[in-house]
């Protein structure tokens, strides 16, 4: 028996990269998977490969989340939500930042997580609990100077996870963040602008290795964690100070 037998999982950004690897891993472990992607063709392909359901749309649109939760409920509820969709943003001069890129980056990387949690918590609460994992980045822990906008959004995710997780404990819902280094995905390929990762000192990690950490976080009891995943190292849990630490100092 798989660890996710009889469970329903949602994966955003599930048409490629880490999301697609998670879709396959969750399905192999027994889950019925709802695959969400902005691109309908890739969503259909990833869902079709595992006998899942596809939803095409923007995770920054509340209407998309209505469809996602309806689809999950049609499969029996919702046990695991992997909020993975995101974009790389802007690595050019800040004074040249196009407003549409700024808005799209915040909408996907922050809005997709906030609206996702807003949508899935009531469904999980009705089911007696569940697990939410969001994709942040090592940039969500340590600022990444080549892309401050991306850093902004990913630090927003890790902060949101740390602050919100205690409020979900009473619902039986865990909320954690996975913080990968550089992963071999289409987004990374675009960010490299045709350069070789090794020439820049980066070791590319496999998407499936990140997906495995996501599954481990979802199946574990801990909550409010931000876990860094780096090449050739065990996952590292990063502990942020919380309000009580300061108020009791």
Candidates 136, 135, 142; CA nearest to 154 is 136
Q: What is the pLDDT of residues 191-209, one digit of tens each?
A: 656 656 565 666 788 999 9
The pLDDT of 215-237, averaged and rounded, is 94
Residue 184 predicted with pLDDT over 90: no
Enter the tokens of residue 233: 């190292």
Q: What is the pLDDT of residues 80-95, one digit of tens each?
A: 999 999 999 999 999 9
Q: Please state which CATH class domain 8-247 belongs to.
A: alpha beta
Task: Provide the phi-psi class of 130: left if phi over 0, else alpha when psi is between -120 and 50, else beta.
Answer: left
76 pLDDT tier (thresholds 50, 70, 90): very high
Strands, DSSP E only, in 78-189?
80-83, 130-135, 173-180
**How high does pLDDT run on average in the chain?**
92
pLDDT confidence of residue 245: 73
**Contact predicate 203/17, CB 8 Å:** no
**26: CB partners within 8 A, 6+ apart:** 4, 9, 11, 33, 80, 82, 215
Candidates 84, 41, 80; CA nearest to 59 is 84
The pLDDT of 3-31, averaged and rounded, is 97
* Whole-structure pTM value: 0.94
Out of 60-64, 87-91, 102-106, pick the least confident: 87-91
Domain ranges across the chain: 8-247
Active-site residue identified among 82, 88, 150, 171: 150
Neighbours of 22 (CB within 10 A): 33
**113: CB partners within 8 A, 6+ apart:** 83, 134, 157, 160
23 pLDDT tier (thresholds 50, 70, 90): very high
Cα 191–Cα 40–Cα 158 angle in degrees, nearest 5: 50
Distance, C-alpha 71 to centroid of its chain: 19
Terminal Cα-to-Cα distance of the chain (whole angstroms)? 48
The pLDDT of 33-45, averaged and rounded, is 98
What percentage of the chain carries pLDDT values higher than 90? 83
Known catalytic residue at 150:
yes
């Amino acid at each position: 028996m798989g660890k996710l037998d009889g469970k329903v999982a949602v994966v955003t950004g599930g048409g490629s990269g880490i999301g697609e690897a998670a879709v396959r891993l969750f399905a192999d472990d027994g889950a019925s998977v709802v695959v969400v992607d902005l691109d309908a063709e890739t969503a259909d392909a990833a869902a079709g490969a595992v006998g899942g359901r596809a939803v095409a749309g923007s995770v920054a649109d509340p209407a998309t989340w209505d469809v996602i939760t309806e689809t999950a409920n049609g499969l029996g509820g919702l046990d695991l939500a992997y909020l993975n969709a995101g974009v790389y943003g802007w690595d050019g001069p800040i004074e040249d930042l196009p407003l549409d890129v700024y808005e799209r980056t915040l909408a996907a990387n922050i809005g997709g997580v906030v609206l996702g949690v807003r949508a899935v918590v009531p469904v999980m609460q009705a089911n007696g609990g569940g697990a939410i994992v969001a994709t942040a980045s090592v940039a969500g822990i340590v600022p990444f100077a080549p892309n401050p906008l991306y850093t902004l959004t990913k630090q927003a995710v890790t902060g949101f996870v740390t602050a919100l997780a205690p409020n979900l404990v009473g619902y039986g819902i865990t909320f954690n963040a996975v913080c990968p280094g550089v992963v071999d995905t289409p987004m990374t390929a675009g960010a490299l602008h045709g350069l070789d990762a090794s020439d820049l000192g980066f070791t590319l990690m496999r998407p499936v290795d990140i997906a495995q950490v996501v599954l481990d976080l979802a199946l574990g009891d801990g909550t409010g964690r931000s876990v860094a995943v780096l090449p050739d190292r065990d996952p590292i849990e990063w502990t942020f100070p919380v309000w009580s630490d300061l108020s009791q100092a």
